[in-house]
Amino acid sequence: MIVLPQKIREEISEKVFSRADDYRYLARTRSENSEFLDQLVKDPNIGGVLREYMSREKVKTYIKDSVLNKYSKLKQTLPRNLELTLKPLYGAPIYEVEYRKSDHLSLHRTNDNKLVAVARTKPLKWETGLRKLILFIASSQGLPPSDGTQLDLILAIFQHGVPVNEGDKKLVEGGLKLIGVKGLWVE
């Protein structure tokens, strides 16, 4: 096990995170990211510092497994708070009524009493997000409402800087529209 002083670990993470942001790491191909990793290993302020605490062979593994994997997880986390995403659609504040963290689902109410069910997902997992949204509605007491209250269904697809071509977006949106779900792409 590699034991780095906490201060060194934090400084290395900060430098790698900053470089990964500038490089747009999450939007790159696997081969481009491999080259980026090699640059980090060669960088005297990153790989050079780490070589003081571990063998040369372990530096690349440490950066990839301990720092860049953490970076990817943090940057690709699906947010709970959707106020800034949903407010433009409804022209007013929208209030969360229920949230299911395990499924990244929430139910909201607007000022004019509409209900909005939202599933958060990533581009490659949009079908899973849709399934969770449908099961959420089917298993929730009082949904869909029987009193005439409008219920909007939204699949919020978070790209996290990963490019998705416009043709794929339109195809997904068209399919979702057929079943009454709004596809919402979020950069």
Per-residue pLDDT of 51-106, as tens digits, reads 999 988 899 999 999 999 999 888 878 888 888 889 889 988 899 999 999 999 99
User: Are both 102 and 173 inside the same structural domain?
Assistant: yes
Residue 117 belongs to what domain range? 83-186
Q: What is the pTM of this model?
A: 0.71
Burial of 5 (0-12, 13-18, 19+ CB in 10 A): exposed
Query: Is the pLDDT assigned to residue 43 strictly greater than 80?
Result: yes
Of 75, 94, 124, the position where a domain reaches its end is 75
User: What's the DSSP call for residue 78?
Assistant: P
**Residue 146 within any structural domain of the chain:** yes
**Residue 1 within any structural domain of the chain:** no
How much is the average pLDDT of 116-121? 96
Segment holding 99, helix H or strand E: strand 94-100
